[in-house]
Amino acid sequence: MMKELCPSFANPKTWRNNIQEKIAKEDWKKLRLKILKRDDYTCQYCGFRAEKWQIAHHIDGNPNNNEDTNLETICPMCNLIHHSGQGCVVQGIVDLYTESNYSQNEIVQITRKMRAEGKTDQEIINFLGLKEKMPFKMDVSYLRNLYGFVTSRKTLQDWTQKALEYGYNISARK
């Protein structure tokens, strides 16, 4: 059963560059792999499965809480929605809307499929019924009522771009 996805954000005070992480890089790699294997490399929000580029996500937003129960597999698209401050403001590739014909989880699934088919952002937006674009605000109650859309704009982080394109390529083969 998939978990409900909605736009949110991580408290900037808990961003990795603002705190001292309490796990060594090699230990994190082992733990990440353990979580990905446990979840069969499958995103807990949209069901996308890939053995590359999936993320071990801290459910409570605390990168120092590395208990198995606080970690889950999430795909790059769902991660951008979950961390919409990162997607909207930092990387500039997520847009927020007030209306959709689909749930947030379905928006990610359909966007990935349509992007793999070569559809444009506008074709996908029209199909999804996304209306009334809104700005990002660091307010969870505000964000919970919005729908995030991962655009085809180029990301600022090369790894994010590669991860998204990998997902579209995997979807195109299915």
Convert the pLDDT of each residue in 95-149 to its tens digit.
Answer: 999 999 999 999 999 999 999 999 999 999 999 999 999 999 999 999 999 999 9
Sign of CA dihedral 17, 23, 24, 26: negative
CA atoms within 13 Å, Cβ hemisphere of 7: 29
For residue 164, name the pLDDT band (cuts at 50, 70, 90): very high
CA dist list (Å): 171 to 31, 61, 115, 150: 27, 29, 9, 15
Q: Which residue has the higher pLDDT, 11 or 25?
A: 25
Does this model's pTM top 0.85? My answer is yes
Convert the pLDDT of each residue in 43-75 to its tens digit.
Answer: 999 999 999 999 999 998 888 889 999 999 999
Domain residues of the chain, as ranges?
Answer: 12-75, 81-173
CA dist list (Å): 32 to 39, 66, 149, 174: 11, 10, 27, 26
| Residues counted in the chain | 174
For residue 24, name the pLDDT band (cuts at 50, 70, 90): confident
What are the tokens at 17?
């560059």
Q: How many helices (H) and strands (E) does the chain have?
A: 7, 5
Sign of CA dihedral 20, 90, 146, 154: negative
Judge whether residue 21 has pLDDT over 80.
no
